[in-house]
Amino acid sequence: MKMANLLTVNYKQSGKSSNLNSMGMREMQARAYDARDAQYLLLKAPPASGKSRALMFLGLDKLHKQGLKKVIVAVPEMSIGASFKDTKLTEHGFFADWTVQPSYNLCIPGGEDQKVKTFVRFMSDSVVICLLHRGWIAARGTE
């Protein structure tokens, strides 16, 4: 009996996807950003391709240019939530930096009883980005 490996996926690897445009975006991130006015977006890309950073670009645009007051992002595990740390996007040409407000970082273990109170406080704040996991993370967009 011949065994088939159904979990292996091979992607084309030309190196083109790691080139940055004038705003510091990879090819996939720029394509996602071009669709930033859509109500729903599904980003499907290989691991370590920049999906979290694409979400930073999209979230900041929604907050600063589209009038949204909050952006909520669900992440499946704490390690992904950790990738949403402060990021200097302006160094590469984007209009704003991603700045995390530590008081809303709910992916840090412990303090489970305070997470509901923190989320209620987050919901009453004016312009914040909240990244959710079982426990949650939130960040404030720069102004």
Domain-located, residue 105: yes
Q: Apex CA 41: angle with CA 124 and CA 135, to 5°?
A: 45
Q: What's the pLDDT tens digit per position in 21-68?
A: 999 999 999 999 999 999 888 888 888 889 999 999 999 998 899 988
Q: For the whole model, what pTM was predicted?
A: 0.72
- Tokens 């694409």 belong to 54
Q: Is residue 137 part of a domain?
A: yes
Is residue 120 assigned to a domain? yes
| Residue 11 falls inside a structural domain | no
Find the domain containing 29 and state its range: 18-141
Q: Which of 138, 85, 135 is nearest to 114 (CA)?
A: 135
Q: Is residue 63 part of a domain?
A: yes
Whether residue 8 is contained in a domain is answered as: no
Helices (H), 82-133: 112-124
How many structural domains are present in the chain? 1
Is residue 29 included in any domain, yes or no? Answer: yes
Q: In the prediction, which pLDDT does 97 show? A: 92
Answer yes or no: is 112 within a domain. Answer: yes
